[in-house]
């Protein structure tokens, strides 16, 4: 099977379409005209998935489009309220009119769901990578799985069986070795360093006061440890920080140390067997380590989401009839994608039919 990270595809191809088209900006909204670039974005997405199905037809399995479904919340926010917290604000400030984009893409996805042989799977409160990791985990011992995604989080799926991952962004295969070590190293590094793209902080983040801030707290009889300070509500933290005026080299309030930590240091601790000792060297390291394991490792995806992902995949199988074929061809024609009717895999067309007869 081929599992497609549709969210990654979407944003990559939207940016690609904007660069290709150079759309006009609406003077009233300050945002691009979606009608200028979305036809190209849809074409890019459809072309990329068809190409993947053609190039990896040796897998002889279904193509599955995996979607985000976090409209009513994201299960990870139960463990980290700031998870992907700035995404919404970033989209509101972007020149891309995301409301229009998502409305357009929802129609496109519904066509793929209803009128093509591709499976389309999502699970409430889960992301596309959750769906991919769950399906890969369940089926990898039974059949070959290819993940089409540039998200390094999904490298971990390779520990479950016959799984490979290709990045459409870098045009390279992703493996633990491509990230500097074996699977054990990759998983340990990923948990410790977190994920900047998803706003999962490294486990050393906000765990030790700077010398100057610790001195300030002591001089003002404020008896906080990093743990108790982090447990204050944001307003209380800001009240204390606002009265503290020492700046670091970057001009920010000099509140926290930023311990140097990278892959080389982690590799040495793994080789020396000192990871556990290091995790106990600060009262917050292990607590944050356990939090990050929940956020980034597939073993901690909630059981109900795992079961739903597998069930939704199994229930998404469908056969294509004449009505589906007609509707999909009409959609392609209406949206300037009719040329794809010449390149679609044969299983897009109901048995015994020809595009020219419809």
Per-residue pLDDT 10s for the chain (358 aa) are: 999 999 888 999 999 999 999 898 988 889 999 999 999 999 999 888 888 877 776 666 789 999 999 999 999 999 998 888 888 788 888 999 999 999 999 999 999 999 988 999 999 999 999 999 999 999 998 899 999 999 999 999 999 999 999 998 898 999 988 877 789 999 999 999 999 888 999 999 999 999 999 999 999 999 999 999 999 998 999 999 999 988 888 888 899 998 888 889 999 999 999 999 999 999 999 999 999 999 999 999 999 999 999 999 999 988 888 888 888 888 988 888 887 776 677 667 665 555 555 5
Q: Where are the alpha helices (DSSP H) in the chain?
A: 6-21, 34-55, 87-93, 98-115, 128-139, 183-193, 211-219, 226-230, 234-242, 263-272, 275-279, 285-296, 303-315, 322-334
For residue 116, give the nearest of 61, 66, 63, 45 by alpha carbon. 63
Nearest-10 crossing angle of helices 263-272, 183-193? 120
Assign domain 2-180+301-318 to its CATH superfamily. Answer: 5'-nuclease (3.40.50.1010)
Q: Are 139 and 1 in contact (CB under 8 A)?
A: yes
Q: What is the pLDDT of residue 93?
A: 87
Identify the burial level of 69 via C-beta atoms within 10 angstroms of its C-beta, where 0-12 means exposed, 13-18 middle and 19 or more buried: middle
d(CA 323, CA 337): 19
Q: Is 5 helix (H, G, I), strand (E, B) or coil?
A: strand
Tell me the C-alpha to C-alpha distance, in Å, between residue 355 and each of 293, 320, 325: 50, 14, 8
Identify the bridge partners of residue 195 per DSSP, sorted by sequence position: 200
The set of residues, in sequence order, having a beta carbon less than 8 Å from that of 60 and lying 6+ positions away, is none
Within the chain, which residue ranges are assigned CATH 3.40.50.1010? 2-180+301-318
Q: What is the pLDDT of residue 356?
A: 58
Tokens at residue 132, please?
């991919």
Q: What is the pLDDT of residue 338?
A: 80
d(CA 43, CA 46): 5
Q: What is the pLDDT of residue 342?
A: 66
Identify the bridge partners of residue 253 per DSSP, sorted by sequence position: 247
Provide the whole-model pTM.
0.90
Identify the bridge partners of residue 256 per DSSP, sorted by sequence position: 209
């Amino acid at each position: 099977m081929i599992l497609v990270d549709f969210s990654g595809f979407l944003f990559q191809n939207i940016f690609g379409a904007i660069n290709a088209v150079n759309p006009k900006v609406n003077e009233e909204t300050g945002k691009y005209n979606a009608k200028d670039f979305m036809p190209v974005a849809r074409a890019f997405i459809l072309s990329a998935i068809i190409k993947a199905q053609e190039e990896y037809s040796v897998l002889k399995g279904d193509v599955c489009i995996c979607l985000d479904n976090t409209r009513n919340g994201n299960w990870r926010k139960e463990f980290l309220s700031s998870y992907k917290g700035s995404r919404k604000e970033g989209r509101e400030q972007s020149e891309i009119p995301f409301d229009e984009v998502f409305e357009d893409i929802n129609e496109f996805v519904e066509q793929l769901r209803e009128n093509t042989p591709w499976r389309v799977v999502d699970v409430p409160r889960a992301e596309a990578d959750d769906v991919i990791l769950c399906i890969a985990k369940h089926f990898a011992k039974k059949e070959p799985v290819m993940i089409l995604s540039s998200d390094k989080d999904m490298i971990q799926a390779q520990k479950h069986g016959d799984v490979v991952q290709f990045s459409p962004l870098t045009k390279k295969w992703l493996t633990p070795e491509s990230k500097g070590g074996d699977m054990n190293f990759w998983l340990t590094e990923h948990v410790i360093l977190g994920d900047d793209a998803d706003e999962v902080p490294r486990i050393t983040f906000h765990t030790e006061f700077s010398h100057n801030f610790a001195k300030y707290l002591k001089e003002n009889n404020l008896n906080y440890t990093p743990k108790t300070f982090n447990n204050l509500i944001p307003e209380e933290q800001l009240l204390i920080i606002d009265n503290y005026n020492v700046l670091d080299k970057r001009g920010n309030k000099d509140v926290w140390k930023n311990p140097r930590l990278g892959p080389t240091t982690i590799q040495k601790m793994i080789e020396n067997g000192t990871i556990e000792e290091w995790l106990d060297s600060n009262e917050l390291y292990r607590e944050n380590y356990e939090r990050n394991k929940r956020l980034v490792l597939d073993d901690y995806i909630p059981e109900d989401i795992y079961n739903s992902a597998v069930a939704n995949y199994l229930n998404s199988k469908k056969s294509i009839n004449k009505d589906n074929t007609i509707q999909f061809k009409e959609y392609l024609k209406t949206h300037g994608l009719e040329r794809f009717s010449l390149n679609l895999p044969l299983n897009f067309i109901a048995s015994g039919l020809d595009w020219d007869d419809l």
